[in-house]
Chains A and B, each alone.
Chain A
Amino acid sequence: MNVAVRQATATQRLKVVDCDIHPVYRTAAELHPFMSARWRDHMATFGTHFRHGLTGQLPYPRMMAAGMRVDAFPEDGGPPGSDLDLMRKQHLDANGVEYGMLIALSRGGMEERNLDFGAALSSAINDWQLECWVKKEPRLRAAIVVPQENAACAVTEIEKRAGDPAFVQIMISPRSSDPLGHRRYWPIYAAAERCGRPLALHVAGYSGGHPSTGSGWPTYYIQEHYAMSTGMQNTLASLVFEGVLERYPKLKIVMIEGGFAWLPALTWRMDKHWEHMRAETPHLKRRPSEYVREHIWFTTQPIEEPENPEHLGDIIKWIGWDRLMFSTDYPHWDFDDPRQVFKTRLTEEQKAKIFRDNAKAFYGLK
């Protein structure tokens, strides 16, 4: 997975929309133009303040090359994802990317414990996406990063960006301080509905203050990686059972990098338990699976790979061919290559939907 498998000049016939690309700043100084002196000083002195025992690193060290594609390190130094030219050459051009969705994970302020600093960071990272990426590369689109644990500031940030078509979605971390269905986040959903932007929930390495499983902290990165899948399931259940999808009927949500093959079994389980327990949540007017079918989309990477590739076709059929959107996770180690990603046979129509058309419809792209 983590090797350059072909020449970057190989062509990709079908144009794709990549729904998960990670831009990274070369150094934190790239954010300085977008921050006040007060917050520049704060960042230099105190740094980010997360809910983990280690600072300046993730608590589960990644495997080879810090979890990056080894061929994605720019020659002149700097981290993978920090060099637009390399991204163009290695990914956007080589893989036929027509549009790429930026998912800015670093210093976004989503997980910052100091809420005011979080708000400043969010605003800075949004300016940085605009100035350093989208304005330079017309194929890229930004997500509005918000300090989600401070809903009032999040709404302010959303409203500030809502008029700019460069921002096509609103990004919050599903690894939140409370499950995302909780009322403290509802103002964000109301704002999303008002400005007609979908919500992007991308898996996150920093916690909102809770162990990554219902039985405490696991030991290894292979488990941390899996917890992104179970966590996304829990998040979806929260959004359903708290009634968010009933209350905000126009809200659209994309779940990014959490897997998708689990969805049929989860909706079967939610429907079954809801039937017996429905008196507890009378605010739900329909079966959980109906809310999911209407409101939830998924990106494909890291795609689950059945031992018999054809089995994936069953899963996609049950989810709906119109609900999956291709993603690569560039420049991370578990990058999915558009040529290799589907081991199962797809028709041309199915390919067009997953690689391009579903995302264009979802984001309203021409």
Chain B
Amino acid sequence: MKVPFAGAIDCDLHPAMPSVPALRPYLDEFWADQFANRHIDQLPFTLSSYPATSPLSGRPDWRTASGAPAADLDALRRNVLDPLDLSCAICNPLHGAVALFNDDMAAALCSAVNDWMARELLDREPRLRASILVAGQSPELAVREIERTAPDRRFVQVLLLAMGETPLGRRAHWPIYAAAEKHELAIGIHAGGTYRVAPTYSGWTSYRVEDYVAQSAAFETQLLSLVAEGVFQKFPRLRVVLIESGFTWLPTWLWRTNKTWRGVRAEVPWVDRTPADIVREHVRFTLQPVDAPRTEPEMLLRTLEHMGSDRLLLFSTDYPHWQFDGDAVLPAGLPADTMRKILMDNPRDTYARLRDLPAAGGGPGKAEKEAS
């Protein structure tokens, strides 16, 4: 993979999740007993959005001999951190705990995953940062976990999924946003769902490919929910990052929502400026997947212009998910200034806790150094 500068920041990296037995040191007595006695420690806790064997879950050349996506610490270093000469990468834990119906069990697993993350990855690799896994099913328990984890400033955001039981702007979720704002944590909304309701307004799709395609619609609705409910008026310092959302759908969202808001703004009087202005101030998007034709880079460049701001995109590999081939982690044709913003400036502006990082050198990247 190639990026033109050293010191870029990867805002979406997926370490392999630990098995339940690997979480044993981080569980209290009660849950350790429960998990052993009920054989819960033999369950995979894999989200149905990302089964290990599905093509999207692991790029073919990033899989191990057994077929599992290679995402232990060595693989993260070998495939991402070192070759890209990154200053930092944010680990987003995709764990099935968030789809459980038992809020307490979910919260126990989330806490264990966060502690595992701190001990097994963050302690051992100073370039890594992480998102806090929370049981969004219960905002109360999610807030408790945020309060517990927030003192460790290597956790830079709170992770939620794009499809849940109720739209994320609903007031029931607001305590999570209050806690995030208080602790200078971004809210990261990652692709995937708990499938509490059908993924489309006309019911259940047949194929996984449809579910993946439907993620962009899920992000559109979540974005509108956050804006319409006034989340950004209530929490003016909140930053929301849509992760693995795609972004080429954004211009249409801005155009349509601005127009409709002009017609019906009396319904949501707290939305006191155009939705586009609100989004450009508060919301960011990770780069991968780039849903645009690779063979016609001009279309992507036009779409970036339609977005109306070069501050919206944050570099991501989405490793080990299969979003691009070879070293084409950056789409072709981006101007140098835009690349620099995506790779470094925008992530630092977005994540308050990344401002602790030493200033990026911005010197030539490893690939360029080796070539010269």
Contacts and interface: CB of A to CB of B under 8 A. Distances in A.
Interface of A: 1-2, 63-64, 174-182, 207-223, 225-227, 229-231, 233-235, 237-238, 241-242, 259, 261-262, 264-266, 268-274, 276-277, 279-281, 302, 304-308, 311, 314-315, 318, 333-334
Contacts of B228: 218-220, 222-223
A50 B198 CA distance: 18
Contacts of B167: 213, 215-219, 223
Contacts of B229: 219-220
A220 B203 contact: no
B258 interface: yes
Interface stretch (B80-88, B123-131, B175-183, B245-253): B245-253
B199 A208 contact: no
Contact of B200 (A219, A238, A270): A238
B168 interface: yes
Given A179-B202, A214-B221, A227-B221, 12 more contacts: A210-B202, A215-B168, A222-B260, A226-B260, A229-B256, A230-B220, A233-B214, A266-B213, A269-B213, A269-B248, A304-B252, A333-B263
Contacts of B259: 302, 304-305
8 contacts: A214-B198, A215-B221, A216-B164, A218-B167, A222-B268, A230-B220, A241-B213, A311-B305
B62 interface: no
Contacts of A229: 220, 252, 256
A234 B209 contact: no
B196 to A, nearest CB: 7
Interface string B207-234: 1111011101110111011001100000
B197 A210 contact: yes
Nearest to B214: A234
- Of the listed residues B56, B210, B251, the one surrounded by the most CB atoms of chain A closer than 10 A to its CB is B210
B55 A276 contact: yes
B335 interface: no
B369 interface: no
Contacts of A233: 214, 216-217
Contacts of A235: 200, 202
Contact of A178 (B203, B254, B260): B203
B209 A277 contact: yes
A266 B303 CA distance: 13
Interface stretch (B15-23, B106-114, B287-295, B342-350): B287-295
B206 interface: yes
Interface in B237-292: 246, 248-249, 251-252, 254-264, 266-268, 276, 289, 291-292
Contact of A261 (B197, B256, B268, B305): B256
Contacts of B305: 311
Contacts of A264: 248, 299
B260 A225 contact: yes
A235 to B, nearest CB: 6
Contact of B166 (A216, A242, A266): A216
Contacts of A273: 56, 209, 212-213
A214 B200 contact: yes
A216 B252 contact: no
Contacts of A234: 199-202, 205, 210, 214, 217
Given A215-B167, A234-B200, A280-B209, A226 B220 contact: yes
A280 to B, nearest CB: 6
B248 A268 contact: yes
Contacts of A333: 263
Contacts of B262: 1
Given A226-B260, A230-B221, A241-B209, A177 B163 contact: no
